[in-house]
Amino acid sequence: MPEIKRPSIHDRLQRVLVAASAGLIIAIITTMWFTEELPAGIRWPLVVGFVFVVALFSASILQRLVARLIEEPLGHCVQAADAIARGDVAQLVPPASTQEFHQLATSINHMTEQMAAATQSRMRVEKLATMGRIAAGISHEIGNPVSAIANYAHLLRMRTQDVQGTTEPLDALEREITRIDRIMRGLLDYARPRRLTPKPIVVDDIIEDVLRLLADQGITRRFRVTRQLEAPDGVVYAERHDLEQAFVNLLLNAVDAMDREGEIVIRSRINDATAFGDSFEKRRTDPHPQRWAHRPSKRALAWLARPESPPRFLQVVLADSGTGVAPEDAERIFEPFFSTKQPGKGTGLGLAIVASTIENLGGTIWVQRAREGGAAFVILLPLHASGVRPITPPNGEAVI
């Protein structure tokens, strides 16, 4: 949508003053013309009185105009500034009718969005540090007893092979032990720092490998998977396993969100920061009158506003036709142990690990409504500095 062109305060006031001056001149001429037959003692007081009334009326209009163009939007800005001083970054300044105050409102709203995103980022960092301490304690206090229980369960199974009625409870016991172990490993992967050995990697190749893996396992066979990979030179500096696991988690999440059939679309492209606002334009395959204009999320705006943000980056979108994500859960789904799935269907750590992986790579991720009707996860990753596609030798390790 093209931006509405708003007049400046100077232009609006100049028009009113010109109109008031013209009205005053017309009033003087009209009064003198209608009263030229009257005696001078009556004529001139009548002219002065009529001119005074017209001037008073013009001044009243000018006062209301100044209140609407200057005092009212200035009051909104003062209220927003006071709210920011109190720590409330949720209050936004409404759009103004003049160019100057509209720019001021836009700048204040952008500042509050950046402050809100910075606050959320700081809270995530603090939560991650707390989770790290908790994970270390849980790993020691619970991990060893769980391993002992698993060993005793295995020993019990060996000794009761010929006893009827023991197979089912032992299967349930081992299944729950495996679930506890999976939760523990996910928590440690989310919270603990690891020694990384990143390499230049082509993300499109990772996506193709993950799609092939899930197709070979039959996980995506009931779904229509569409690839729109347009970033063959989209090289990032990352751990191959971490990226693979992130895309596996996102694809499994999309599969779980759909009931037996549906559509999964994964797109990649190299984007410019200056043109990012236009990166959600209508697709070539969309109907002609249809337009999908998504405003970048607060996460994306905060990521782009950083001094170290790159001018060009890789953008990956993974969308599905499932149930989608409620707007109030758009941030919470990246928190550990928060899950919209039924109890027992997930640990609530998958998307938290994905977000942690992407942020560790210097990128950002958020969720929005998909064109396909479900959820669309958008990932922004900084490109590798060399910008050269790595050569992949037969052993599978990329080199530059």
Question: Is-contact 80 90, C-beta < 8 A?
Answer: no
Residue 79 pLDDT > 80, yes or no?
A: yes
Mean pLDDT of 19-47: 74
Mean pLDDT of 82-104: 78
182-185: long-range contacts at Cβ-Cβ below 8 A with a sequence spacing of 24 or more? Answer: 182/347, 183/347, 183/349, 184/138, 184/139, 184/142, 184/143, 184/146
Q: pLDDT value at position 6?
A: 67
Residue 399 pLDDT > 70, yes or no?
A: no
Give the total residue count for the chain. 400
- pLDDT tens-digit readout, 333-385: 887 767 766 655 556 677 888 888 898 888 999 998 888 778 899 999 999 87
Q: pLDDT value at position 350?
A: 78
Q: pLDDT value at position 386?
A: 57
- Band the pLDDT of 106: cuts 50, 70, 90: confident
Question: Is-contact 201 390, C-beta < 8 A?
Answer: yes
Inter-CA distances, 101 with 16, 61, 82, 337, Å? 19, 20, 17, 44
**Choice between 349 and 220, residue whose per-residue pLDDT is larger:** 220
The pTM of this model reads: 0.58
Average pLDDT along the chain: 76
Residue 266 pLDDT > 90, yes or no?
A: yes
- pLDDT tens-digit readout, 269-322: 998 877 665 444 444 444 443 333 445 677 777 787 777 778 889 999 999 988
| Percentage of residues in the chain having pLDDT higher than 70 | 77
Taking only Cα atoms into account, the Rg of the chain, rounded to an integer number of angstroms, comes to 32
In sequence order, the 6+-apart residues with CB closer than 8 A to the CB of 200 are: 235, 236, 237, 384, 386, 388, 390, 398, 400
Residue that has been written with the tokens 């200057």 in this structure: 70
**Choice between 76 and 393, residue whose per-residue pLDDT is larger:** 76
**Pair type for strands 223-229 and 262-272:** parallel
Rounded-to-integer distance, Cα 385 and Cα 200, Å: 9
Residue 391 pLDDT > 60, yes or no?
A: no
- Band the pLDDT of 395: cuts 50, 70, 90: very low
Q: Nearest-CA neighbor of 358 among 390, 380, 339?
A: 380
